[in-house]
Structure 1
Amino acid sequence: MQRVIIVGGGLAGGLAAIYLARRGYEVHVVEKRDDPCRDQDADIEPLSARAIGVSMTVRGIQAVLAAGIARDALAQCGERIVGMAFSVGGGYRLRELRAQTDYAPLSLNRAAFQRLLSAHAAKLGVIHHFAQKCLHVDLAAKSVLMAGPDGALWRLSGDWLIGADGAHSAVRQAMQQALSRFEFQQTFFRHGYKTLVLPDAEALGFRKDLLYFFGMDSRGLFAGRAATIPGGSISFSLCLPYQGEISLATRDRVALRGFFRRYFAALPQAARDEMLAQFLAKPSNDLINVRSSTFHYKQHAVLLGDAAHATAPFLGQGMNMALEDARILARLLDEHGRDLSRVLPLFTRQRKVQADAMQDMARANYDVLSAASPLFFLRARYTRYMHEKFPRHYPPDMADKLYFTLEPYDALARMQRKQNVWYKIGRVN
């Protein structure tokens, strides 16, 4: 039985472990955090300073269900999403998401989903090494050196490695040292973010089946996203510049009070005061973008998720692509008889193109969310109307494709470019 070591037991690593265990591998997962199944109390992660609310689209849902996880179990980890609400001028403009299948996107309780993955993997015999910090990765020996809570060092060896250990991946760093022509680019987005959480979303007027977006009328000052967390709270992620009159560094209560009054006018004063207090108390976080020239090393290792293609969350696809990574890797193993000399290069070839396209769209989408043209909503209606009238010539609404289909990201990017051309022609006519 081949042994595979997965460094990182988050969402990508957790789903990959399930796929591989079902295919007869001896799977070991090394994770620096504690066992998420040990504490069954109320979800803590959405209240943390770093947590960003995540949306699982049909792409992610299909990847999870294909691993053998029951649809009902997944549904309990989130709230069904039927549309988006954009805050403009103190009110909300609604945009319905038109379902193309019987699946609907989920506003995900990430902690609950993590517990689901860990529990399912354990039932399949996956061996978890929790609270173990990865200190060194030896790609030639296909081994990992770790330290436990007591500081004791130990090494785990296998037949191949999977790096699912996030944007600062130790497996990727080992690849950088081992490959002479490994190209790596790490950039930070011009804005960082803070996460604020308010209780009782329904009492504040928020619907649990909508995603909320803020800042479209801020002329590029900021972009915000909010989603209801199962349990009733709502989580806001506010992306702002690092410096300036209104920025992550601002401590002027009067200026911040004016900011929240201007862009969150629909909330009562008490809620805005709570947001202000949290804004001043919580640390700011960076938004990192990672690009690598390859996602694999020989027959020894492969990168999944943020370790391969971390991106700013302005398209809502980082997690979904990470889950799809696990599904694609499993499919390639099935198609090529576990021949890693063929599987891993094919994985890089297929996923690198998709990752680059997804990251480009994510960056471009931030400009839309933070400084939308007054024609934004008219354009959305125009796009749907033209596709209904001329389905053979005019491309469909990209948002519907993004949320409800498995359309490759590079195809979506081409679709978006084609829409831009047709839109300009339509405006001239």
Structure 2
Amino acid sequence: MAESNRVLDTAALRSMHPADLAKVFEECDPSLHSELLSRLNEEKRADLLVHLDPMDRQQLLEQTSVREIAELIGELDSDDAADVLGDLEEDTVVRVLEVREQDEPEEAEDLRELLKYPKDTAGGLMQVEVASIRRSATSTEAIQALRAWQDDVENMHFIFVVDDDERFIGTVRMARLALAKPETPIAGLMEAKFVEVRPDVDQEEVARVFAKYDIISLAVTDADSRLLGRILVDDVVEVMEEEADEDAYRMVGSDAEELLYGDRPFRIGLIRLPWLVVNLVGGFCTGLLLWIFQATLEQTIALVAFVPVITAMGGNVGSQSAMIVIRGFATGRIDPAAVGVIVFREGSIGLFMGTLCGGIIGAASVIWLGDPTLGLVVGVAMFAAMSVATAIGALAPVVFRRLGVDPAIAAGPFVTTANDITGILIYMLTATALLS
């Protein structure tokens, strides 16, 4: 009862930011959800939808009528409305838009157009609510237009300027417009455009544009530079978080999709299983290599003591190289075409680290076991394994990218497994050659 009174305090709920409301909704007992929603006005409920976890939003929408979904959609900016509709079944989307079309036919058509774009593109991020003015207008006309748009266009940091053919040509900052004399022509206040994107541009490239030019809003245009919409920086922050999460999941052989399955361990296990099978096969291969070189191991049983450190160091430096290259691709600091430069740089780093670590482990093994030959074997193997591992780690993301596969996968199980196998092979070959 105490929790119910606290959660359902109407005044507190209505004063909360939608992000905080979403946290309350997700943490409170499901039996209170209906009552909680009934305490919110339509605008608050709509904003809550946007901030909910995807799984919670989907469950809530399944319990909501088509008419109510259509009304909630009407309270949202077009980009958020399209995101919410994207979580629904296709037939439900059709029915929701049919209901919406009865009230706002133009809005329904805009949403149909937005839903044609993949979620991970500029078109999937943009909103069609844009404040634009012709270059031939005056500052007074621009301000009058802003007053007319104030209920439809939020976060107006500047006005987009178009020519007589509706082509995007520049922007006017709000501060400059507010301080201008009444009849000042927009052409005199305008700053010429310096960047725009097409709706099919990937969201990672959109994020790079925002970071490069330090902007808060970005125009989306068609092939003729006609203004289609805008992307705001808050949407790009979400993109950066999504891309970082996606890379993190893929680097450990999983997928951000598992967030949708909450506490369904079987589905999550199926997502993680493929790369675990890769590790399993890799482990079997390393065991097979040790069995093939059993004669060498029987000759000098102390070799076994250094197997873990050889594989661990190779795996670590390989993953480091892969991670550096992947982040370089993501931030645009590394040119994917410069394969030779990438591999040479990482290979050189591997040679340096391999020399240093090989010398240390070689000296330590001589002191420990009193066998200079064994120390030479371990030191040379460590040097070679780490050098090869950095080259593999640098090359794998490049190869994956050219094959059309997300390079983030290369930083996880693939590189670790490949370097385990090559590390054991190098170690056993070195031992066989030097000890015989």
* TM-score normalised by structure 1 residue count: 0.25
Compute the TM-score of the two structures, normalised by the length of structure 2.
Answer: 0.25
Higher strand share: 1
Greater radius of gyration (CA):
2
User: Greater relative contact order: 1 or 2 (C-alpha under 8 angstroms, separation 6 or more)?
Assistant: 1
More helix by share: 2
